[in-house]
Amino acid sequence: MPKAFFIDTSRCTACRGCQVACKEWHQHQAVPTLQRGTHQNPPDFTPYNFKIVRFNEHKIDGKIKWLFFPDQCRHCISPPCKDAADAYVPGAIIQDEATGAVLYTDKTKQLTIDQAQEVRDVCPYAIPVRSEATGMLTKCDWCIDRQRAGMKPACVKTCCTGSMNIGERADMLALANQSLTKLKKTHPEAQLLDEDYLGVIYLIAEPRKLYHEYAEHRERMNPMSRQAFLAMLARPVTRLRG
């Protein structure tokens, strides 16, 4: 059965162990960073950074509070990026039957720059990044090699707070809802994010608008990409009810 990844952001301390573990497992090169007035680095995904712990600073109830968000590909149940890529290069993006992981293959190199940009534009979370060095689209592969070997993804393995969990989808949904019920006792606005459509389920403690919302990405989507995205987003509803 498909897997699911449950990330409880209320437990995240921004140690960034997940970010480092991901980078080390994939043997990614270092990426130069700059001080930009935040502890978050790098500022966004790169071909060498599949996971980023995002920092959001807010004043809540008169106190300064950091909201941490370990960001990565959501491994959508019905991935719009796969639908977009299939229109140009079938098989460039595949979905692993055993886990549900959305995987980018070497065939993504066959996508033109404009086609690759369209694949990125239909992603509601602005995840895919094209490598200028190889021409390949890149993102989190859910440590599919580790999973096939019976191991947990590197980020889950290294998480010391229990923020990250992976297992059968039904089990993770149950854990997510149990955690939500418990968190709501102290944080009434706690919620799960898009759990019906995603393989990666997030629990947040504060209103969604206080977290990284990809507003800039959505604003720059061209009309055709926006139409395609909206049409694709509706497809999981039909499949789930069918």
Q: Could you report the per-residue pLDDT of 95-106, keeping only the tens digit for each?
A: 999 999 999 999
- Label each residue of the chain as H, E or C: CCEEEEEEHHHCCCCCHHHHHHHHHCCCCCCCCCCCCCCCCCCCCECCECCEEEEEEEEECCEEEEEEEEECCCCCCCCHHHHHHHCCCCCCEEECCCCCCEEECHHHHHCCHHHHHHHHHCCCCCCCEECCCCCCEECCCCCHHHHHCCCCCHHHHHCCCCCEEEEEHHHHHHHHHHHHHHHHCCCCCCEEECCCCCCEEEEECCCHHHCCCCHHHHHHCCHHHHHHHHHHHHHHHHHHHC
pLDDT at 234: 52
pLDDT at 231: 55
How far, CA to CA in Å, does 128 sit from each of 24, 50, 57, 123, 167? 20, 9, 25, 8, 24
What is the Cα–Cα distance from 110 to 96, expressed in whole angstroms?
21
**Could you give the C-alpha distances from 23 to 18, 47, 56, in angstroms and in order?**
9, 10, 22
Mean pLDDT per 10-residue section of the chain, whose length is 242 residues: 93 96 96 85 94 93 92 96 96 96 98 95 93 96 97 97 97 98 97 94 94 57 47 45 33
Give the predicted TM-score (pTM) of the model: 0.86
Q: What is the model's pLDDT at position 230?
A: 52
CA–CA distance, 188 with 46 (Å, rounded to integer): 35
Q: Go through the domains of the chain in sequence order and give each one's CATH number.
A: 3-75+152-210 (3.30.70.20), 80-139+213-241 (3.30.70.20)
The residues with which 166 forms a beta bridge, in sequence order, are 5
Specify the pLDDT at position 212: 78
Q: CA 96 → CA 3, 11, 56, 81, 240, distances in Å? A: 10, 29, 33, 15, 18
**180 contacts: CB under 8 Å, gap ≥ 6:** 190, 191, 192, 203
Return the pLDDT at 34: 84
**pLDDT tens-place string over residues 167-225:** 999 999 999 999 999 999 999 999 999 999 999 999 999 999 898 766 444 444 444 44
Tell me what pLDDT residue 237 has.
39
Tokens matching residue 164: 């990250």
pLDDT at 38: 84
Residue 228, Ramachandran bin (φ over 0: left; ψ between -120 and 50: alpha; else beta): alpha
Peptide bond into 42 cis (omega under 30): yes
For residue 214, the model assigns a pLDDT of 61
